[in-house]
């Protein structure tokens, strides 16, 4: 993507990725102060009422979804396009500016935005398409068609999920690892990235990291439930959502027992389904 039409600092996917990476790397380094700051920024800016979260959910739909059918892709792009034009563009840009300013002020790290993102080209293509849909006169019909073609290609790419058996952790007891793998594989056939992070932290016996990751899962779950309640019209489903909310209210991120971990893994699975749908 041309730098003229894509600004890395204003790419919602990259901003979120950098913050989550900051949380993860800080936890590995036992720098809880830095991880707490990054987590606090995520909680402050990606709230249920923020335009940033709405943008990120659209972004995620195009990043994580795998579709083979051209007809389904066409419908998906149409829905995401409609969503991208449904909220205030000026409010979105204002929130992004505030977020960037907050990051700069909090970390005072000139290299924060220079971190290499493996999926940079994919992220750039998706953000550019969202921008183009909102400013068709600026980008032009040709550029929009080009962006849609690139994203269509991305949607047809099978997403790679690392099997839990392939996770490699230093200084881990082989038997403990094998037992953990068997327990979680009975319930979860394909683990999400966040689930794998939780499992990895448990195997590492890094309770501080595990608690922080569980806190992130709790925040994401509450946010997804709040969004679902706003959008859902089914009375039956809303009654079920109320029951789920009560269960969520009983979860304690500081509890890293096996039973608690199972609940949080299920919670993560539920959140992933809601956000993808």
SS3 breakdown of the chain: % helix, strand, coil, rounded to 5? 75, 0, 25
CA dist list (Å): 200 to 24, 41, 49, 252: 12, 24, 32, 19
What's the rounded Cα separation, in Å, for the pair 275 and 277? 6
CA dist list (Å): 76 to 65, 155, 276: 10, 10, 12
Instruction: Give the pLDDT score at 95.
Output: 96
Per-residue pLDDT reduced to its tens digit, 47-66 = 878 999 999 989 988 988 88
Work out the pLDDT band at 254, boundaries 50, 70, 90: confident
Per-residue pLDDT reduced to its tens digit, 108-118 = 877 889 888 88
Per-residue pLDDT reduced to its tens digit, 67-93 = 888 888 999 999 999 999 998 999 999
Mean pLDDT throughout 149-176? 62
Instruction: Give the pLDDT score at 74.
Output: 92
Instruction: Give the pLDDT score at 3.
Output: 42
What's the rounded Cα separation, in Å, for the pair 239 and 251? 20
Answer yes or no: is pLDDT of 160 > 80: no
Select the more confidently predicted residue: 5 or 220.
Answer: 220
What average pLDDT does the structure give for the chain? 79
CA atoms within 13 A on the CB side of 166: 6
Instruction: Give the pLDDT score at 48.
Output: 79
Concatenate the DSSP letters of all residues of 114-141 into one string.
G---TTHHHHHHHHHHHHHHH-HHHHHH
């Amino acid at each position: 993507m041309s730098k003229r039409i894509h600004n890395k600092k204003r790419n919602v996917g990259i901003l979120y990725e950098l913050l989550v990476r900051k949380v993860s790397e800080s936890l590995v380094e036992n720098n809880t102060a830095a991880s707490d700051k990054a987590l606090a920024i995520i909680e402050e800016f990606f709230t249920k009422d923020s335009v940033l979260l709405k943008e990120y959910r659209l972004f995620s739909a195009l990043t994580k979804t795998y579709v083979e059918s051209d007809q389904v892709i066409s419908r998906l792009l149409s829905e995401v396009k409609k969503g991208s034009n449904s909220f205030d563009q000026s409010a979105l840009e204002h929130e992004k500016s505030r977020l960037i300013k907050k990051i700069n002020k909090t970390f005072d790290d000139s290299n924060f935005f220079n971190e290499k993102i493996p999926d940079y080209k994919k992220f750039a293509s998706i953000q550019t398409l969202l921008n183009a849909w909102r400013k068709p006169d600026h980008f032009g019909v040709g550029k929009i068609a080009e962006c849609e073609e690139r994203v269509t290609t991305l949607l047809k790419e099978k997403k790679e999920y690392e099997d839990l058996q392939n996770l490699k952790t230093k200084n881990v007891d082989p038997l403990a690892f094998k037992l953990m793998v068997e327990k979680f594989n009975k319930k979860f056939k394909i683990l999400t990235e966040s689930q794998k992070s939780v499992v990895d932290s448990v195997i590492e016996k890094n309770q501080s990291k595990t608690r922080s990751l569980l806190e992130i899962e709790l925040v994401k779950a509450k946010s997804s439930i709040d969004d679902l309640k706003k959008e859902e019209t089914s009375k039956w489903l809303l009654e079920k959502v109320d029951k789920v909310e009560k269960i969520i209210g009983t979860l304690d991120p500081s509890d890293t027992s096996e039973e608690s971990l199972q609940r949080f893994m299920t919670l993560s699975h539920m959140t992933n389904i809601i956000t993808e749908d």
